[in-house]
């Protein structure tokens, strides 16, 4: 749990303020939060006073000091029902004017959810998914192949629903935390992804991504990697295993369906202290058994399997590829912790996946991943607008659809050359 307690999500520079505190433990956690915010203000003031002398910095950068409480909160806090978190952006407004704070102020303008757009996205995503699945069931009586032809369309809607669940985990889809959590759990019954545990683990990712000294467990084969030196130092057997599990076909075609159907049914890679998240894994599985069992009794288990399994397999492959490619590619950068800061990491260690308009719609704009890492509170339907506002001033690693497919080859970080490398390059001991 320690790695998540340290982790920060880059949306915290606004500061989270509770509307109500009902237990002594919560009171203590928020007192500590207030103390940390006071300390940040003190450091900011000192940096303003000392800027004229251009003395060496005595504290981490502003962005490091103002890392989000999101990951910290998910690892320590047990909010009561109905408790909502509201944002206080005064801390950012009082920060010294720098290129970094100017950028964050611009991005913060896009973080507020728009109810009309959230409801519209819910309607099109859930309506499209259920409508396509209903058509597939109806076509099963005519031709199983005709029904199967609609599976990619249903999978596209399911990916879009997963993006909504992802937004709910960042409290970005609605202003109310309760509304986000209810909708997130509802999405999880379609995506087969336990909401509470995935949210907490993903919050940890947002505090450590592409930080070589704070990489998460070896279970993360999609957004983490070894350095070339670390890979070469492995035994031959370990290198073969590492290379096999990261092979694009294994990691992005064979494993994704197993992850969603089997691995997510277990409290995998979770400390025992995550009691609530562990319970929610089992509760999600129980709800799925009831829902799929009832649907099987109504329509027939063979028909349900013939429709839902192809949709799930395709959606799992697409979804895993989307998240994997966001931190892969030749131009992606990794840094040691002393040189790491969230702004540079967002702009240089996350990609802009430029997709055709139709694919961008089905993937919920997640291709604008650099914006998402700048501020995870920006709803997916505002990411493009935010990107267009800031993109002219920054050189973000950009991938086309086909480049995104090839980017999966870059699975190692070459510290000597400061670039991503393929396994073949690591064996040669040189990069072109």
Range of the domain at 77: 2-103
CB 252 within 8 A of CB 408: yes
Q: What's the CA gap between 365 and 380, in Å, rounded?
A: 6
22 and 150 housed in the same domain: no
Q: Considering the domain boundaries, does residue 110 fall inside one?
A: no
216 and 180 housed in the same domain: yes
Supply the DSSP string of 187-251, one letter for each residue.
Answer: HHHHH---HHHHHHHHHHHHHHTTBGGG---TT--SS--EEHHHHHHS-HHHHHHHHHHHSHHII
SS3 percent helix, strand, coil of the chain, rounded to 5, is: 65, 5, 30
Domain boundary among the residues 55, 80, 103 is at 103
Largest CA distance in the chain: 79
154 and 228 housed in the same domain: yes
Q: Considering the domain boundaries, does residue 400 fall inside one?
A: yes
* Nearest CA among 107, 216, 121 for reference residue 163: 121
Give CA separation, 166 vs 181, 190, 363, 365, in Å. 11, 13, 12, 12
Residue 335: DSSP 8-state: B
Q: What's the CA gap between 251 and 396, in Å, rounded?
A: 26
Q: What's the CA gap between 168 and 179, in Å, rounded?
A: 8
Q: What's the CA gap between 208 and 325, in Å, rounded?
A: 17
At 85, is the secondary structure helix, strand, or coil?
A: strand
* Nearest CA among 314, 315, 306 for reference residue 139: 306
Q: Considering the domain boundaries, does residue 108 fall inside one?
A: no
Q: Residues 295-302: contacts with CB within 8 Å, 24+ apart? A: 299/137
Q: How many domains does the chain have?
A: 2
134 and 86 housed in the same domain: no
121 and 98 housed in the same domain: no
80 and 198 housed in the same domain: no
Q: What's the CA gap between 315 and 130, in Å, rounded?
A: 15
Other CB atoms within a 10 A radius of the CB of residue 154 amount to: 25
Q: Considering the domain boundaries, does residue 263 fall inside one?
A: yes
174 and 200 housed in the same domain: yes
CB-count exposure of residue 356 (10 Å: 0-12, 13-18, 19+):
exposed
User: Six-digit token pair at 68?
Assistant: 């989000």
Q: Considering the domain boundaries, does residue 259 fall inside one?
A: yes
Number of alpha carbons in the 13 Å side-chain half-sphere of residue 87: 24
53 and 126 housed in the same domain: no
Domain boundary among the residues 64, 83, 103 is at 103
User: Six-digit token pair at 87?
Assistant: 């944002």
User: Six-digit token pair at 308?
Assistant: 């839902």
CB 265 within 8 A of CB 286: no
Determine the pLDDT at residue 259.
Answer: 93
Q: Show pLDDT as tens, one digit a residue, over the chain (432 residues).
A: 333 333 333 333 333 333 333 444 444 443 344 444 444 444 444 444 444 443 333 334 444 434 443 443 443 343 333 333 333 444 444 444 456 778 888 899 999 999 999 999 999 999 999 999 999 999 999 999 999 999 999 999 999 999 999 999 999 999 999 999 999 999 999 999 999 999 998 888 888 888 888 886 656 788 888 999 999 999 999 999 999 999 999 999 999 999 999 999 999 878 889 999 999 999 999 999 999 999 999 999 999 999 999 999 999 999 999 988 988 888 889 999 898 888 888 888 888 999 999 999 999 999 999 999 999 999 999 999 999 988 777 888 899 999 999 999 999 999 989 899 999 888 765 443
Q: Considering the domain boundaries, does residue 96 fall inside one?
A: yes
Q: Considering the domain boundaries, does residue 222 fall inside one?
A: yes
286 and 418 housed in the same domain: yes
172 and 223 housed in the same domain: yes
Domain boundary among the residues 103, 133, 161 is at 103
Q: Considering the domain boundaries, does residue 142 fall inside one?
A: yes
211 and 328 housed in the same domain: yes
What pTM did the predictor assign? 0.78
50 and 76 housed in the same domain: yes
Q: Return phi, psi of residue 269, to 5°.
A: 60, 35
């Amino acid at each position: 749990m320690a790695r998540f307690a340290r982790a920060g999500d880059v949306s915290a520079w606004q500061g989270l303020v509770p509307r109500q505190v009902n237990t002594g433990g919560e009171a203590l956690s928020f007192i500590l939060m207030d103390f940390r915010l006071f300390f940040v203000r003190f450091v900011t003031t000192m940096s303003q006073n000392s800027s004229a002398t251009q003395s060496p910095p005595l504290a981490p950068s502003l962005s490091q000091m103002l890392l989000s409480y999101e990951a910290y909160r998910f690892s320590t806090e047990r909010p009561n029902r109905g408790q909502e978190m509201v944002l206080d952006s005064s801390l950012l407004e009082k920060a010294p004017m720098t290129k970094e704070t100017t950028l964050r102020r611009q991005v913060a303008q896009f973080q507020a959810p728009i109810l009309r757009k959230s409801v519209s996205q819910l309607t099109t995503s859930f309506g499209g998914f259920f409508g396509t699945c209903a058509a597939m069931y109806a076509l099963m009586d005519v031709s199983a192949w005709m029904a199967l032809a609609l599976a990619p369309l249903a999978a596209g809607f399911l990916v879009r629903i997963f993006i909504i669940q992802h937004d709910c985990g960042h409290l970005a889809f609605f202003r109310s935390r309760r509304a986000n959590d209810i909708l997130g759990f509802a999405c999880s019954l379609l995506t087969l992804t336990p909401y509470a545990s995935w949210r907490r683990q993903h919050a940890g990712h947002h505090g450590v991504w592409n930080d070589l000294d704070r990489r998460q467990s070896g279970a993360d084969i999609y957004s983490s990697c070894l350095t070339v030196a670390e890979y070469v130092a492995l035994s031959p057997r370990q290198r073969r295993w590492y290379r096999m599990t990261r092979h694009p076909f294994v990691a992005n075609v064979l494993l994704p369906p197993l992850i969603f159907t089997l691995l997510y049914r277990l409290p995998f890679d979770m400390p025992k202290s995550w009691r609530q998240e562990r319970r929610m894994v089992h509760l999600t599985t129980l709800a799925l058994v009831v829902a799929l069992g009832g649907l099987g009794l109504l329509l027939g288990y063979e028909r349900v399997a013939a429709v839902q399994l192809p949709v799930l397999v395709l959606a799992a492959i697409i979804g895993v590829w989307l998240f994997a490619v966001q931190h892969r590619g030749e131009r992606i950068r990794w840094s040691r912790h002393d040189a790491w800061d969230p702004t540079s990491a967002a702009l240089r260690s996350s990609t802009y996946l430029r997709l055709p308009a139709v694919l961008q719609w089905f993937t919920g704009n997640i291709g604008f991943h650099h914006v998402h890492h700048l501020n995870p509170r920006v709803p997916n339907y505002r990411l493009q607008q935010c990107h267009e506002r800031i993109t002219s001033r920054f050189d973000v690693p950009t991938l086309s659809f086909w480049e995104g497919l090839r980017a999966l080859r870059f699975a190692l970080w070459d510290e000597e050359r400061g670039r991503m490398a393929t396994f073949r390059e690591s064996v040669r001991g040189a990069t072109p």
